[in-house]
Amino acid sequence: MMKLLWSCLVSVIIFFTTSDANAQKKHEAMGITFKIPSDWIITDEQPESNAISFSCEKEGENESGSISFAYIGRDLDMNAFLALCMQNAENSANISDGKNFAWGKDTTEVAVGDFVARQVTYTVSFLGLAFSNKILVLKACGNMVMLNTTEADEDHDKNKKGFETIMKTFKCK
């Protein structure tokens, strides 16, 4: 009886360990890798000469979790790159009829995988829904990298694990 119980426990542990590992996909581009939860997908991939942009989005009709990425294969001044990304976000919100656009108070430094990124936050509303967003810029694997996270405030709890997985696993291959 004890042997059967032990066998069942080992089977359960193996199932949960392997199902968690299989629940993630790996994305690689320009020397950078990260893991994507199984309910997120890569969209809008646009490779260019020495650059790439794409999005990683939570799947589903009423889902709002998304990270836009841009990798540029050259060294730029970090502050100038952040300012350019901020201007692009503000212009995009204006073109898309965003309302109540507002920047957060300060630029902070945060961890993205093994890297330190500069982060600025902003809020905007679309069609009556409030969205919270973060722009992060960093240097990784010989590239300038921009990540722009966005989510409807009401979806924060649903998106948290996906954002954390992507951010924590971001590294050079």
Would you place residue 34 in the very low, low, confident or very high pLDDT band (cuts 50, 70, 90)? very high
**pLDDT digit string (tens) for 118-144?**
999 999 999 999 999 999 999 999 999
Cα 42–chain centre separation: 11
Range of the domain at 161: 25-172
Burial of 134 (0-12, 13-18, 19+ CB in 10 A): buried
Residue 1 has pLDDT above 90, yes or no: no
Is residue 149, in this structure, part of any structural domain at all?
yes
> Does 164 reside within a domain?
yes
CA dihedral defined by 115, 69, 56, 126, rounded to 10 degrees? Answer: 120
In a domain? residue 59: yes
Structure confidence by residue, pLDDT tens digits, 77-88? 999 999 999 999
Q: Is residue 15 part of a domain?
A: no
Tell me the whole-structure pTM to 2 decimals.
Answer: 0.83
97: domain CATH number is: 3.40.1000.10
Confirm whether 12 is domain-assigned.
no
Domain count for the chain: 1
- The pLDDT of residue 26 is above 70: yes
Tokens of 43: 């969209």
User: What are 38-96's pLDDT values in tens digits?
Assistant: 999 999 899 999 999 999 999 887 788 999 999 999 999 999 999 999 999 999 999 99
For residue 75, report the phi and psi dihedrals to the nearest 5 degrees: -90, 130
Confidence of residue 23 (pLDDT cuts 50, 70, 90): low
For residue 8, being part of any structural domain is answered with no
